[in-house]
Structure formats: structure tokens, C-alpha cells
Amino acid sequence: MLQEPASSLGEVMLQAGTQLSESLRMGLLAYELFGAALGVVIAYLAYRGYRRNQSRPMLFVAVGFALALGVPLVLTVVYLALPITGGRVAVQVTSQTFEVAGLLCIIYGLRL
């Protein structure tokens, strides 16, 4: 009997910790989108460096940044723009997969 109140207290604390005001949520989203946009700019600059110098490692760095930050940005914008009620986990898994693939490309490009 003593365990039931403790578990319900833990649930209440977890719920209280996950509630954010709408303005804070929008600010965090804008900050995340800003970071992703900077990643896309870095990918573009790396691609220009590849084109100018024909440097294969720079191509992998450009592709890596595009995969790690550009694709998740597009997925997030599409998910928020469309009236999708579910699929949050699928979008998160897909986004994380592209991030890992992009980071692996960056590592590969830096190792060449």
C-alpha cells in the first residue's frame, strides 16, 4: 500500500516537469530551427569548397551536414505543417537516423 502513493507522486512530478508554456515551446522550436538553418548554410559553404577545390573530403562534409541538419529540418517543418495527429515516434526515428548518417559522413570526410 505504501508503494502506490509513491508511484503516483512520481507520475505527478514527471507530468509537472514536462509541461512548458506555449511561448517557451515556440522559442525553443525557433532556436532549434535557427541551429538547423546554420547547419544548412555550413553544408552549402562546404559544397562550394568542394566545387572550388574538387576536394572529395569536403564533399563528404557537405553531405554530412545536409543529412545531419538539413533533412531533420525538412522533416520537422513538414510534420508541423501537415495536420498529422500521430507518427511522432516515426518522425523522430527517421530524423535521428539521418543525423547519425550525416555525422558518419562528416567523420569519414575528416578522416580522408
User: Which has the minimum average pLDDT: 2-11, 12-21, 33-42?
Assistant: 2-11
DSSP H/E element including 22: helix 22-53
What predicted TM-score, i.e. pTM, was given to this entire model?
0.70
The Cα–Cα gap between 46 and 55 comes to: 10
The better pLDDT of the pair 19, 29 is held by: 29
pLDDT over 70 at 12, yes or no: no
Looking at residue 100, its pLDDT comes to 95
List the one residue out of 33, 49, 43 whose CA is nearest residue 103. 43
Q: Does residue 11 have a pLDDT over 60?
A: no
Average pLDDT of the residues in 44-73: 91
